[in-house]
Structure 1
């Protein structure tokens, strides 16, 4: 049972030390930086955005959980010692330094510190006891005052950084809304483009079918023409033979016509002398030659 409070005491001591604060501050800063990086990756739809957000959020959770074990710091009314911290009036730097040195000298001497907001002195209010303060305590006081000044400067820087981060977050939110609108418009345009491409594909398919049918018709016509050409080329020898036979037939018909003509002349000669005595037909030399030729 005693180990648990001892562990908590060690953890509080470590977090109160300078090394513990430095480590915790680094994890604060790094965790916040990775949270911003993961949010940026998520907005731009870059890979590993979810993983970065998960790791950074877990880191921030651990840091905030551990920071719950920090010891609460003691608060001092430093405005009573340094009136310029109130912000009521601007105090020159030289006057602030002179007041700090006077405070240190009075602390070393053990004299009461006089609180004043202006150059006029008021009723003395002892800040420290009348006993003599050692040099070590004075040195600790000086270091505390220096740390207070550094802390005030850091708080001012943190305030400016916080305002800048707030503005950046607002700009990121605005950019994200614009990106969402553009993404919606882009999706609408892509859908219309897809519909147009689908219509073009249907028209293209119809054209392909029509062209295919036309190509088939042209192929049939070409095959018919090739067949006619082959028939024509095959009919050329037959045409030559037919021409020769036609010429030979014409020649024979001519000769037959000549025979018929001579026969008719012979009959005509015999029919012109009906009372003439029957004498044997004496052919003329021309007729004899024709008879011999026949």
Structure 2
């Protein structure tokens, strides 16, 4: 953070921004809860929550870089040149010189010792800061979780409606089965009637078969009679033709006789004269 602790940026990002992080996270969680429980105004609340989160991330992008504190000045054990004797190794140029502890460092060590702040506590403090940073990074996934939860809720509602439709279908099927069961007696009587009708039809078919055979016999007799009549008609036609020829020959014979009579008459007349 900037060295000027009285600047607005230092106060804003040091005092106000942590509160904004907490309030923004609460708004996002509240919007997600509205969406998950499908309360009225859920869409508006999730929109407000995501907008708040986006604004927080936007502001955090301008947060100044924190200054790295050289803790090796206070705790020599943190120095990469520490030799295990309580003091860091001195550079080669300073070999032979007597290291001097700063009085301020000694006072600070005494304060920490009086407050019983040891290496374990400082290590736990470092772990806590790392966990806090990890939690801040995971805050960005809340929006994704809210969206996924919304989709899950929609799928659950669709599945519920499907189950209701299936229950209605099963109820209708059960009612139909009950009606079919109650109608089994009527179906049995109907089956008996159908069997009786089938027997009657079989008897009628037998009678019809006999009548059909008799009709076929009569048809055969009639066909034979018609064949004989046709033959007789053909004979009559032939006789008619022969009669016509005989008639023609008889007429010709009469004509010849008449001619002979005329000739004989002429001859007789000539002989008398």
Same fold by TM (over 0.5)? no
Length-normalised TM-score, structure 2: 0.38
The structure whose RCO (Cα within 8 Å, separation 6+) is larger is: 2
Length-normalised TM-score, structure 1: 0.36
